[in-house]
């Protein structure tokens, strides 16, 4: 096999594992994989294998155009997705009149692991955190024509030495480390994502939560290892609940920093030339732009005395060292 680059073998093996090609089908093996949360995933896998589709509560994907018209939105408008692992749900929101409305809630047919973030390659965990999808992450991957690469690890993950690759949203109902949505649902999600990107939304936010981040739900998990991390994720959840707009998210000193969205549009400026893209690397999902995860510390607010002895506020500049802490 001379001439074949080693990373392509690694890509093929990881993609096959994510697709569940090596998964054992019996219920005992599945129960080990699922650990301690969302046991209904077993029943969904069985229903899928028996051909009992659609899964319960799945929107009618054959009526996409009609559903868009009924909601008063169009394909190509900016979108945002939220994943809730405990309830196995994926929400897709579409921008309408400068706010995002809930367009669809899809059941996730299967995801592996338990509540908590993905830490390393091969741990069979699905990630948690704030991710963004760019055009390059919607390309055809292996057997999945409509797969979307989630973008793990992001800047926060890299700052915490978390590693892994090719974490996807894809079709089917079997997966290790990815989110399996069934083929018809994944085609709809992929089409809406591609249309939004082609119309100018350079970064599509995907927020992955362990559960719906209410005060009550978070308090119920107060003694768990990942409670401090989940508290940080709740800030992003709360911001979107308040504004119905994607929050501004940055990574500073190995931590997420959340700010409510301003009045900026979710659409980006016209794409730069190929030469400018190479120079500025603007298509990286942590390179800035609406919906992206920025790698920089917010400007500090410093109180200074003016000539009349009264205090006033001046905004300082972020330190360059702080802005690079989460980069590769």
Let me know if 140 is a catalytic residue.
no
Neighbours of 260 (CB within 10 A): 12
Closest CA to 203 of 280, 147, 130: 130
Question: Among candidates 103, 125, 96, 135, which has minimal Cα distance to 18?
Answer: 125
Q: What are the CA-CA distances from residue 81 to residues 94, 193, 210 (Å)?
A: 9, 10, 14
d(CA 297, CA 246): 19
Structure tokens that stand for 135 in this block = 């055009």
Instruction: Kindly give the interhelix angle for 27-34 and 40-49, rounded to the nearest 10 degrees.
Output: 140
Contact 176, 23 (CB under 8 A): yes
Catalytic: which of 109, 173, 178, 297?
A: 178
Write down the catalytic residue from 18, 48, 110, 170: 170
Sheet holding 110-111, edge to edge: 110-111, 179-180, 168-170, 148-149
Please tell me whether residue 288 adopts helix, strand or coil conformation.
coil
Residue 178 annotated among the catalytic residues of the structure: yes
β pairing state of 148-149 and 129-133: unpaired
The residues annotated with a catalytic role in the active site are: 170, 178
């Amino acid at each position: 096999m001379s001439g074949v680059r080693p990373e392509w073998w690694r890509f093929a093996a990881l993609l096959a594992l994510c697709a569940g090609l090596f998964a054992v089908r019996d219920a005992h093996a599945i129960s080990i994989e699922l650990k301690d949360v969302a046991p209904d995933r077993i029943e969904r896998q069985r229903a899928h294998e028996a051909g009992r589709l659609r899964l319960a509560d799945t929107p009618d994907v054959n009526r996409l155009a009609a559903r868009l018209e009924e909601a008063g939105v169009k394909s190509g408008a900016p979108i945002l997705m939220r994943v809730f692992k405990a309830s196995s749900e994926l929400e897709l929101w579409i921008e309408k009149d400068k706010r995002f409305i809930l367009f669809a809630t899809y059941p996730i047919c299967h995801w592996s692991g338990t509540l908590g973030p993905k830490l390393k390659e091969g741990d069979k965990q699905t990630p948690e955190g704030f991710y963004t999808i760019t055009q390059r992450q919607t390309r055809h991957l292996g057997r999945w024509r409509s797969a979307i690469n989630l973008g793990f690890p992001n800047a926060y993950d890299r700052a915490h030495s978390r590693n892994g690759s090719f974490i996807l949203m894809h079709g089917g109902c079997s997966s290790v480390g990815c989110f399996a949505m069934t083929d018809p649902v994944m085609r709809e999600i992929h089409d809406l994502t591609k249309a939004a990107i082609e119309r100018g939304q350079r970064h599509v936010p995907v927020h992955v939560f362990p559960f719906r981040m209410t005060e009550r739900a978070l308090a119920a998990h107060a003694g768990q290892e990942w409670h401090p991390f989940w508290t940080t994720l709740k800030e992003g959840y709360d911001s979107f609940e308040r504004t119905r707009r994607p929050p501004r998210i940055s990574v500073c000193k190995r931590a997420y920093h959340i700010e409510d969205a301003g009045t900026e549009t979710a659409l980006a400026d016209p794409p730069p030339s190929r030469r400018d893209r190479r120079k500025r690397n603007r298509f990286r999902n942590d390179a800035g732009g609406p919906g992206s995860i920025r790698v920089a510390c917010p400007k500090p607010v410093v109180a200074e005395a003016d000539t009349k002895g009264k205090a006033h506020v001046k905004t300082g500049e972020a330190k360059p060292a702080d802005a690079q802490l989460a980069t590769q």
